[in-house]
Amino acid sequence: MKILHLSANNFLKLVAVEITPDSNLVKITGKNAQGKTSVLNAIWAAFAGKEVCPSVPIRRGEERATIRLDLGELIVTRTFKRAEGNDYTTAITVENAEGARYPSPQKMLDALLGALAFDPLAFARMKPKAQYEQLRSFVPDVDFEAIDRQNKGDRERRTEVNRLMDQELAAAQAILVAEGTKEELLDEQAIVAELAQAGTTNADIAVRRSNRERTQEIVRECRVQAAQTAEAILTAASRLVDQRDREVKALRAHIEALEAQISTANDNCDRAIASETERLKGEERELLTRADDLERHLQEAPPLPAEVDIEAIQQRITAARAANAEVRKLLDRKRHWQAYESLKAKAQAYTDAMNQRDAEKRAKIAAAKMPVEGIEFGDEIVLLAGVPFEQASDAEQLRASVAIAMSLNPKLRVLRVRDGSLLDSNSMEILRRMCDEKDFQCWIEVVSDGGPMGFIIEDGSVKEHTDAAATG
């Protein structure tokens, strides 16, 4: 589908333009600021609509502008109407050859528009990465977005894993362990329990020692009391004798009358002395017996065991804690190393997954049918004959760009070139020949101050038309 006829009224700098192409290379020529660009913009605006139109599409002093494209099978008409201020409204109709209108004209036109918006040189002007992105459409079996998304996720996860790896490696390297440390903790609790048992044992020994010392003290007290009791016997006897003498003295005056009483008193005194003496001697015997029993018990008691060396046990606990601290450091360092190795394997798995995706992508890209022989994908760049596209010759870039534009515009076989003045005669001939070979129509803007060539635009109208084939 090509443009058989173009008419444009009051669009940008155009007053009234009627163009009926007579060849596949449609040259729009003339001096600067005469309306050449407006012709190409009219084609683009008719198809793409308000989004690509300039802010003021209607020529100054006019209220309406119209663009009409006859495509043979379709007729596209876009109108512009001035609104308040500098705003405007636009409407589009698309009719078939019989005059029937399409209910969704813009949607239908969008399906016709190519990815490069008609201009084959747009690809050559793109940045390398943008060229790479553009050509991905020729590899439908590869979901580039999904691969990029998955690779991005894996790269982010690998970055996090690498960060954790660095942490684990630094932690492992920062732990210094005494040489010869084994991975076995000493039982500190058992040694502490042994210390507690030793304290209990020593406390029991101390109690038993104190009891024996107390028993010896009781023995000494018993013997002292026995000696005191013997003295008490003498003292009591002396006291009773003194009492008797006093009574006898008191009764001497009554001797005659009281001899019987004296005899009785003597008898009572003797019995009392004997009884008290016997009682005190019994106490003396009991005390001596108790002292002998206690002394014999002490003599028969087994020797006290040696006290447990508490300080030695405490030293063992200190040593065990120090040794266990080294063991724990060794185990911590081992744990960090193990975590580091695990994270390293995980990071490698992410790398392998990305490499696998890239390998599969490269294989599918290699198997894809590209629009130009010798064009292929590099690392996010497009290669032409094995070198980056931007390093290819101008002629090679032109052929490739035109071929790509044609491949991306299979339905609307119309191209436009706004920088035609940059093309030399050889490039222009390449463009003309490719359009004829592929049956494409190329509208090209060329600045010219010389003789007539193509459709010459002057003051917004077609001043002159020379057969493009004759001027090519």
* Averaged pLDDT score across all residues of the chain: 83
Query: According to the model, what pLDDT value does residue 66 have?
Result: 94
Looking at residue 332, its amino acid is D
Q: Kindly report the number of other CB atoms within 10 A of residue 404's CB atom.
A: 27
Query: According to the model, what pLDDT value does residue 472 have?
Result: 45
Looking at residue 60, its amino acid is R
Return the SS3 of 240: helix
**Model confidence over 31-62: pLDDT tens digits?**
888 888 888 889 888 888 777 788 888 888 88
Query: According to the model, what pLDDT value does residue 114 have?
Result: 58
Is residue 92 a contact partner of residue 49, using CB atoms and an 8 Å limit? yes
From CA 47, how far away is CA 68, in angstroms rounded? 10
Question: Which residue is associated with the tokens 């109709």?
Answer: 93
| Residues sharing a CB contact under 8 Å with residue 204, sequence separation 6 or more, in sequence order | none
Looking at residue 307, its amino acid is E
The C-alpha angle 254, 259, 262, rounded to 5 degrees, equals 100
Question: Which residue is associated with the tokens 């589908």?
Answer: 1
From CA 263, how far away is CA 242, in angstroms rounded? 17
The C-alpha angle 274, 279, 280, rounded to 5 degrees, equals 100
Is residue 460 a contact partner of residue 45, using CB atoms and an 8 Å limit? no
Query: According to the model, what pLDDT value does residue 338 have?
Result: 92
The CA radius of gyration of the chain, in Å to the nearest whole number, is 62
From CA 419, how far away is CA 447, in angstroms rounded? 9
| Residues sharing a CB contact under 8 Å with residue 376, sequence separation 6 or more, in sequence order | 365, 366, 370, 382, 383
Is residue 162 a contact partner of residue 281, using CB atoms and an 8 Å limit? no
From CA 364, how far away is CA 332, in angstroms rounded? 48
Which string of DSSP letters, residue by residue, matches 378-441?
-SSSEEETTEEGGGS-HHHHHHHHHHHHHHH-SSS-EEEES-GGG--HHHHHHHHHHHHHHT-E
Query: According to the model, what pLDDT value does residue 450 have?
Result: 54
Q: Cα 334 from chain centroid? A: 24
Looking at residue 468, its amino acid is A
Q: Are strands 441-447 and 414-417 parallel, antiparallel or unpaired?
A: parallel
Report residues of the chain scoring pLDDT below 70.
114-118, 253-259, 261-262, 368, 449-453, 467-472
